[in-house]
Amino acid sequence: MILYSEFFFYAALFFYGAANYYFVRWVCKADTAFFGYFRQWMAVAVLAGVFGLITRFRESGHLPFVTLFEITYLYAWMTGLLLLIFVRAETPRLVQGVVLAMIDAILIWNICMDRNIYPLNPMLESYWLAIHVPAAIVGYSAFAISFGASIYYLWAARKKSALDAVVRFIGHLTLGGCGLLGICIVTGAVWAKSAWGQYWSWDPKETWALVTFLIYGIAVVIQQIFKLNPRWQAILSVSGFTAMLMTFFGVAFFFHSHHTYR
């Protein structure tokens, strides 16, 4: 069967490549015209990703949130979309470079993945799929950008730079991502009750999701409520992102879990 979603996948790869080219030109030349070209190509790449997801949905007959390829491609697409929404020319280039490198790494990985379409597991035939997975993906994408901003903060803080805007940026993304991860955990528990008969089973995926939520939750509390040194928020953001990577990817490779990707 010809998969038209493959065409849009490779089209998106090409457009992301063009965006990378202009990003490098912008970093080297510091010409805002190159930043404009970068954003334009990113927008086209994200649009190609939309068509790729839509055609994948039509070809498979179910939401494209199931296989490892689908879930990682969705993550790359959502991170690219949030990069377009939140990043401006004045955003430190290190932040953008870190996030763009993560998107590139996932897309290169996608090339090597099994992209075949398989029948949907009956246990996934639930409306919770349309709530639980997107909440996780958007939250994880917010964490990716806050990770890039935290790396920049920890690097720039040594120079005693004025970083109030970066601190607020990290705080907003951390708060939003933490809220979405909380929705993901709650909806997952409700879904687990109907699918497996219990709300919580300490499955490795559930456990690591809870660890990730607690780390980011602490980051939100110490910054939004106690107003401690922003360095702690940045450190916890980096630590939380590491836990998120284990939740999102590591569990599938190192543990036996109900939450496995084909």
Q: What is 225-241 written as a DSSP string?
A: TS---HHHHHHHHHHHH
Q: Residues near 60 by Cβ (< 8 Å), separated by ≥ 6?
A: 117, 120
- Residue 227 zone, left/alpha/beta (φ > 0; ψ -120 to 50; rest): left
Percentage of the chain modeled with pLDDT above 90? 73
Query: Residue 163 burial (CB < 10 Å; 0-12/13-18/19+)?
Result: buried
Q: What is the pLDDT of residue 250?
A: 84
Tens digit of pLDDT for each residue in 146-155?
Answer: 999 999 999 9
Tens digit of pLDDT for each residue in 90-125?
Answer: 899 999 999 999 999 999 999 999 999 988 888 888
Distance between CA atoms of residues 151 and 143, nearest Å: 12
Distance between CA atoms of residues 96 and 52, nearest Å: 24
- Alpha helices (runs of H) in the chain, residue ranges in sequence order: 4-29, 32-60, 68-86, 93-112, 129-156, 164-196, 204-224, 230-245, 251-254
Q: What is the pLDDT of residue 195?
A: 80
Please tell me which of 51-60, 121-130, 250-259 the model is most confident about, judged by mean pLDDT: 51-60
Per-state percent for the chain, helix, strand, coil, to nearest 5: 80, 0, 20
Q: What is the pLDDT of residue 134?
A: 95
Q: What is the pLDDT of residue 252?
A: 77
Q: Is 105 helix (H, G, I), strand (E, B) or coil?
A: helix
Amino acid, single-letter form, for residue 23: F
Instruction: Using the predicted structure, report yes or no on whether residue 262 has a pLDDT greater than 70.
Output: no
Q: At what angle do helices 204-224 and 164-196 cross, to 10 degrees?
A: 150
13: nearest Cα among 108, 146, 112, 136: 108
Instruction: Lowest mean pLDDT of 34-38, 129-133, 162-166, 231-235, name the range.
Output: 162-166
State the average pLDDT for the chain: 92
Mean pLDDT within 41-46: 98
The confidence band for 261, taking pLDDT boundaries of 50, 70 and 90, is low
Domain coordinates of the chain in residue numbers? 1-120, 122-262
Tens digit of pLDDT for each residue in 183-206?
Answer: 999 999 999 888 888 888 888 889
